[in-house]
Structure 1
């Protein structure tokens, strides 16, 4: 009752702090000061306001008071009754064990360093002292890497022979002798005379490098080289530099020594038009040599081509049968004959020419390249068909013995001697020599490795750049695909709105006398539409001028929509200059050689640099001058310029500005022609 009375009496008065509470609050303040000093050293800049500190102290005091009340109540219940003085002394001497332990943890020892704070308190303090995260660090912008080193390129699988490529100066030429053999090039007197008859007196740069390499010695002229096969060739030269003649002349020179007709030269081209053009070149050079030249493009029926190419299809012949010495074809039709024509064999092949190699290597039609390469190599004896009538001789339809001759590399397939081996046996390889030609020859290691080239020799017609006069610098330009253009080519660029492109074409035709020109569009439909619009314009223009001082330009379309006979007829008219302007798609942009083309207009700008190179290469051929015009829409100008900069070819392309005043005379006529075109397409 005494304790209760005292509590009631002291109610409403501020309670005096006990010694335990004072010690607790002192330790609290010391600990907070220690944390503040530690935070300043670590750079955390912890700051506690006086208001927060006072609020925290009041909370701590309240917690301590409540704890004291609880302790007092426990003592009243546990201790015997006594007077006030004795209770007070006993309370000071014996505090709760929990309180004593807490005091020992919070009170620093005088004999040594203070104890580390509790992990729970540290975590609470760190959580309360978090500051907003700093901004993320700035990273540098990406940039184009430098050209890789030679060792890096070798590690990436690039053909090491490319680093040893022979650079040929584009200006280099070789004059043919007036009579007799050409000792420097290796051409015979008969071939030199034939070239003179065709009006060819000089060999161009790529020809001066490739022809002597193929005709270096008499051994190279052999039809079969099973023990020492020849090296393969990769040649890169600008369009119009004479790549076709560079392989036609050596093939005709070497195959002229043949006695029995076998398929010894295979030329693969991407389009039918190129096949016909190359055939004309072979026929012109090989005139009087007795060589038989055939084509396979799908222009005629498959059965008709079989009759033209293969002599006997009724009996299996291990050596094959052929009516032609040279076959010029497209890859799709070649695979058809390999699959479906009996006795069509490539085992006697001496030359495999892949012209426009970058485009053909990109085609995967029926995996044509792997199939052709496999057909040039001998198979195992187990793959010989059981239908073979005889291992060495077959019988023709007349009952006479038919020679079943095998190429030297295939002799092990004869069944009687297949299991017979002697010490004199030596490994024989195919004599097929691969010749790759292109204006933009690929440097993709995976595509080059797929060719299985045998110790290849690279020829690159390209002069060393002024900023990189060394051979190493020029080779790096080759690797990075820096394209070269004919020195006699002049290039122009006109930036205009889309609706003004027809006006720009009319302006070029009438103001700059663009005749004997090829105009390239993006599709066959665009070709047809542009030709009709131009015809309407020329007709109205002639009527308005009454025909005075104006010669109407003849224009025709050339696209894949036309039949083969129509395309051939149009090309003949264009060569004879009966047609002044030929509007075409990219079908004709590769390889077609029309000597009098003096202008090339890209009505629709090319989407990549390779297309641009092959388009403008239709002019300025064989040392002649030529102009290339590119009409670039305003929204395409940035892309086109970046494409030229990436190829390091922006400087030669000069921008020509055409004002509204320049095209104003043609606007009324153009609007009338446009109305007529709309009437045609609205029917």
Structure 2
């Protein structure tokens, strides 16, 4: 043992230095080994792991026992710099190797320390490390197709796909000889795809030809088909065919439409197909007084008849006027309905109209539950000999009835038929219809006809990607707002746009645009010097500002081609069929895809060729393109560019027209 001199301070400090030097040597040796081990581990980590197992084995593990875990080698080097008496004091207990490095050990204690060092080395290796769990992450959101199918009616998902190119002759689809002759007399030699699918479905089963089916009510039908595909004739023909067998006049077919113009058009179709059948057809639109309509629809208003009283077999109406008669007209009953047709179903279901749908459906069903015993001690002395429908027979007053467990439940015989180019897919709206085993028919193109193509087409319908007529050519012109009227006049005079319908966003816009064009035409015609120059283009407005008689006059002149261009709001964007319309121009771009589909559907009808033009302002271009892209329709629209030099011949007349229009509005 080294003797320490307690008397001489200088010698005592030297002896202390010798003791520290021996401990320091052991500390530096252990530190050198640790650095070498850490350097080797760092080199392995920087290598590219050859497999997933190698990557796990080369992860650096911090010694959980060492309080200096996580300190960099640079920091330790800084602590080690300088002489021992100048360095700041640091913690000595940095690990098991250092905890006992400055103490003289016995052989037994050294063996114990060796075991502890081996245990610490084991914890420092990859095999002994705790498992590293991956960080939590959000699950992938479901696709739009999966979301679209959630909550949808199973019948819609399993809809039948109909090829739009399919046609068939009038024979072999269940039509009677009289109906075939009538259709041939109207120039109809073959049926289109939607008619080929709908008519056999309604007429193929002979048992379904009965007017009352209380024990086996028919299935309901929902049809989605492009505009101009012949949906009106698809339900007119089978309704006339079945109702021809009727003996007593009752209200048996109710057709609900969104506008008066459509009511007039559908009535004309019914009258042409049902000519000579004895069927009585009526309308209710509010165009005439309420008392006048009651006199046309109801046979007896004097007494309260449970079976109702009707002068018509078929009623074509708007929902608002229908509710007026249902709530205020005596003996107006829907209990004998065999057909309830909702044409342009998406628009009618989106608007409440005094909750018309719920009240109409309730009127087709008996108010008390079927099988309920009626009190025979009612104040009326005699039973009323009404012609009740089978499902309403239990409502006879003062007639005792015996009910047993074997009584068959009688259901209303009303069959609901829904038609639209943009059929609603909202599950809540479909449930509100209370459909009975609905059958969905979708007229949608399928390239290969395989199951995958059919599923994709049905998914397009569910996700509201609509089909356009194959003969339609679509164009888009992006322009400045101030140049939009001038570009419209350029299309009319340079591209020869005639027999056209121009759609605006409101009745006011319609009137203003017609005035501007009339001033433009006056300026252009006054500058012509040659008689060979283009003649005057006749343009007229058609909007809700006109009374019904004026609207009818304008529409008749347009059909006779006395008017070249019709400017209107979306009043006639649905259902109106004018055969010679070859161009549709959306002067104000539509804000949603449904409106676009119905606008362009006024042309390219029944296989004829047509052009659709959309004028898109600069600030609207992004929204319009995004809307078309989501509908999968952007690639089919060709973009047309109009240069300044193309407009220059028309610019002086346009400026003159603007000045004239300005004076008109200043005076008003």
Corresponding position of 2:66: none
Of the three residues 225, 239, 247, the one matched with 1:237 is 225
Does the aligned pair in 1 maintain the 2:593–2:631 contact within 8 Å?
Answer: yes
Structure 2 SS opposite 1:147: helix
Deviation at 1:138, TM superposition (A): 13
Corresponding position of 1:608: 592
Distance in 2 between residues matched to 1:357 and 1:17, nearest whole Å:
106
Distance in 2 between residues matched to 1:562 and 1:18, nearest whole Å:
120
Corresponding position of 2:416: 434
Of the three residues 48, 55, 67, the one matched with 2:75 is 48
Of the three residues 492, 496, 512, the one matched with 2:479 is 496
2:151 is the alignment partner of 1:167? no
Structure 1 pair 110–316 and aligned structure 2 pair: CA distance change class (3 A): farther
Unaligned runs of 5+ in 1: 1-9, 65-102, 117-136, 177-181, 395-402
Of the three residues 141, 144, 147, the one matched with 2:145 is 147
Distance in 1 between residues matched to 2:651 and 2:78, nearest whole Å:
84
Structure 1 pair 391–353 and aligned structure 2 pair: CA distance change class (3 A): farther
Does the aligned pair in 1 maintain the 2:498–2:582 contact within 8 Å?
Answer: yes
Deviations 1:458-481 (A, max 9, x none): 222222035977433333333333
Deviation at 1:417, TM superposition (A): 4.9
Deviations 1:209-239 (A, max 9, x none): 1112211143111100001111111111111
Deviation at 1:56, TM superposition (A): 14
Structure 1 pair 143–217 and aligned structure 2 pair: CA distance change class (3 A): closer
Count of residues in correspondence between the two structures = 601
Does the aligned pair in 1 maintain the 2:381–2:398 contact within 8 Å?
Answer: yes
Unaligned runs of 5+ in 2: 1-8, 43-59, 63-69, 92-98, 117-134
Deviation at 1:525, TM superposition (A): 1.6
2:522 is the alignment partner of 1:528? no
Does the aligned pair in 2 maintain the 1:465–1:474 contact within 8 Å?
Answer: no
Distance in 1 between residues matched to 2:148 and 2:491, nearest whole Å:
46
Corresponding position of 1:213: 201
Structure 1 SS opposite 2:578: coil
2:251 is the alignment partner of 1:269? no
Does the aligned pair in 2 maintain the 1:531–1:583 contact within 8 Å?
Answer: yes
Corresponding position of 1:421: 403
2:633 is the alignment partner of 1:649? yes
Corresponding position of 2:288: 300
2:566 is the alignment partner of 1:582? yes
Does the aligned pair in 2 maintain the 1:494–1:657 contact within 8 Å?
Answer: yes
2:350 is the alignment partner of 1:356? no
Does the aligned pair in 2 maintain the 1:315–1:389 contact within 8 Å?
Answer: no
Structure 1 SS opposite 2:614: strand
Structure 1 pair 420–52 and aligned structure 2 pair: CA distance change class (3 A): same
Deviation at 1:288, TM superposition (A): 2.3
Distance in 2 between residues matched to 1:53 and 1:627, nearest whole Å:
87
Corresponding position of 2:177: 189
Does the aligned pair in 1 maintain the 2:81–2:87 contact within 8 Å?
Answer: no
Corresponding position of 1:203: 191
Corresponding position of 1:484: 467
2:298 is the alignment partner of 1:310? yes
TM-score, scaled to structure 2: 0.79
Structure 1 SS opposite 2:606: coil
Does the aligned pair in 1 maintain the 2:383–2:396 contact within 8 Å?
Answer: no
Residues 265-664 of structure 1 aligned to structure 2 (within 5 Å): 265-380=253-368, 390=380, 393-394=383-384, 403-417=385-399, 419-422=401-404, 425-465=407-447, 470-546=453-529, 548=531, 549-664=533-648
Structure 1 pair 275–415 and aligned structure 2 pair: CA distance change class (3 A): same
Deviations 1:173-197 (A, max 9, x none): 2334xxxxx4x12222222222233
Distance in 1 between residues matched to 2:582 and 2:649, nearest whole Å:
26
Deviation at 1:649, TM superposition (A): 2.0
Structure 1 pair 637–352 and aligned structure 2 pair: CA distance change class (3 A): same
Distance in 1 between residues matched to 2:136 and 2:571, nearest whole Å:
50
Distance in 2 between residues matched to 1:311 and 1:326, nearest whole Å:
14
Question: Greater shift after overlay, 546-555 or 452-461?
Answer: 546-555
Does the aligned pair in 2 maintain the 1:350–1:432 contact within 8 Å?
Answer: yes
Distance in 2 between residues matched to 1:289 and 1:162, nearest whole Å:
36
Of the three residues 187, 208, 222, the one matched with 2:210 is 222
Distance in 2 between residues matched to 1:422 and 1:571, nearest whole Å:
60
Deviations 1:9-39 (A, max 9, x none): x9xx9x97999xx99xx99x98998999999
TM-score, scaled to structure 1: 0.78
Structure 2 SS opposite 1:434: strand
Deviation at 1:387, TM superposition (A): 13
Distance in 2 between residues matched to 1:661 and 1:301, nearest whole Å:
56
Structure 1 SS opposite 2:502: strand
Distance in 1 between residues matched to 2:390 and 2:438, nearest whole Å:
23
Deviation at 1:565, TM superposition (A): 2.1
Deviation at 1:169, TM superposition (A): 2.1
Deviation at 1:638, TM superposition (A): 2.9
Deviations 1:108-166 (A, max 9, x none): 986745999xxxxxxxxxxxxxxxxxxxx999999993633xxx877x23222234333
Q: Alignment RMSD, CA only?
A: 4.0
Deviation at 1:351, TM superposition (A): 0.2
Distance in 1 between residues matched to 2:265 and 2:390, nearest whole Å:
33
User: Which has the larger Rg?
Assistant: 1
Distance in 1 between residues matched to 2:192 and 2:409, nearest whole Å:
39
Deviation at 1:205, TM superposition (A): 1.5
Distance in 1 between residues matched to 2:14 and 2:395, nearest whole Å:
115
Deviation at 1:279, TM superposition (A): 1.5
